[in-house]
Amino acid sequence: MPVFSGLLKVRVCEAVDLKPTPWALRHAVGKSGSFLLDPYLALNLDQARLGQTATKTKTNSPAWHQEFCTEVREGRSLELSVFHDAPIGYDDFVANCTIQLEDLLQNGTRHYEDWTLHVQSKHTNNVGTVSLRHSLAPRSLQRVPAHGASTRHAAAQPLDAFRSSRFLVSYLICVETAMLDCQPRVCRGDKELFVWGP
């Protein structure tokens, strides 16, 4: 299964026609058709929390327009989960969906693209839709300047390497050990430390 390593940007735009689950209605008073949620959306990347949107009060069609950005290392899937912010106890699950990063990679674009996702729960097939945009950017390789050059203006150069449907990325991080340019620098590559310089 292809994995992605690099920069992932996700902009959560809005959700439309969210419907409360029977569990969310357990304390509701009055007609269940008029029950309004206090929804927020949680993003998980391979079971790790990426972030969550702000809670929008008393609406079943929230507009968040929030952007999340993270550095991904061998990512496989992005899960979107909508919850009702319950005033007491645990927040109520409303719906979720999972996006395989492989689908984004096969799409051939790395820039923002509109997506409309149908979120679902166990109780009903279609609970609503969530729209978002995504952007993928490979990691960059930071070049070490030649001997005598300043490291303060080192430019980051993008590096794309593909092998067996997988983004392979190398990186180099340098830490200057002295103020003078003729001094050696301690650098870290993919796996080990090494000294760069005279």
Which tokens in the block code for residue 31? 């007609």
Spatial distance between the Cα atoms of 6 and 134, rounded to a whole number of angstroms? 13
Helix (H) or strand (E) holding 10: strand 4-16
What pLDDT does 169 receive?
33
Q: Enter the pTM of the model.
A: 0.62
Domain ranges for the chain? 4-138, 140-198
Q: Which fold has domain 4-138?
A: Immunoglobulin-like (2.60.40)
User: Parallel, antiparallel, or unpaired for β 77-84 and 92-100?
Assistant: antiparallel
- Helix, strand, or coil here: 148? coil
What pLDDT does 123 receive?
56
CB 61 within 8 A of CB 48: no
What pLDDT does 137 receive?
67
> pLDDT (tens digit, 0 to 9) for every residue of the chain, 198 residues total?
678 888 888 888 888 888 888 877 777 777 666 789 999 999 999 989 999 999 999 999 999 989 888 888 888 888 889 999 988 888 998 888 888 887 776 765 554 455 666 666 665 554 567 666 666 665 533 333 444 444 333 333 333 322 222 333 333 333 333 333 445 555 555 455 555 554
